[in-house]
Amino acid sequence: MQTHARKLLVIIAEAALEKGLIHDARAFGAHGYTLYDVRGGGDRGDREASWEADRSIEMKVICDAAVAERLASHVLATYAPNYAVTLFVTDVGIFRPQKF
């Protein structure tokens, strides 16, 4: 079956950024996103999701390379200096090009 090349951008961040990230993903041209509640730790301490201010999310966005680039640059510039943010991008193959 034929696949089409896209980028998968994964953003792991404090839950306080959820609304902002969803808004940004849409605004920069992503067609959709998937969110999970996650736990983890890093330079800024452990985030165990046990109460409101301790929650983290993982957001997955499948989009074309240009959108992934713009969105990632925006997240790095806007949120990364002051918030716990991890992001990475990887290549994926999708089946329905019109959807992403």
Partner 1 sequence: MDPVVLFFILGVIARLARSDLRLPEALYEALSIYLLLAIGIKGGVELAQQPIGAVLPQAMAAMTLGAAIPFLLFPVLFKLGKLPRADSAAIAAHYGSVSVVTFAVASSFLLKNDITSESYMPLLVALMEAPGLVAGILLARIGGARRISWGPLTHEVLFGKSVLLLLGGLAIGAIAGPQGIKPIEPLFIGLFKGVLALFLLEMGLVAGGRLPDLKRAGAFLVVFGLAAPLVLGTLGAFVGHLIGLSLGGTALLATLAASASYIAAPTAMRIAVPEANPALSIGVSLGVTFPFNITIGIPLYLELARWIGG
Residues 71-90 that bind partner 1 (CB under 8 A): 79, 81-83
CA distance 50 to 41: 13
CB of 40 to partner 1, least distance (A): 14
CA distance 92 to 9: 10
Amino acid at 76: L
2 versus 50: smaller Cβ distance to partner 1: 50
45 versus 91: smaller Cβ distance to partner 1: 45
CA distance 63 to 100: 5
- Residues in touch with partner 1 (CB under 8 A): 14, 16, 19, 37, 44-46, 48-55, 79, 81-83
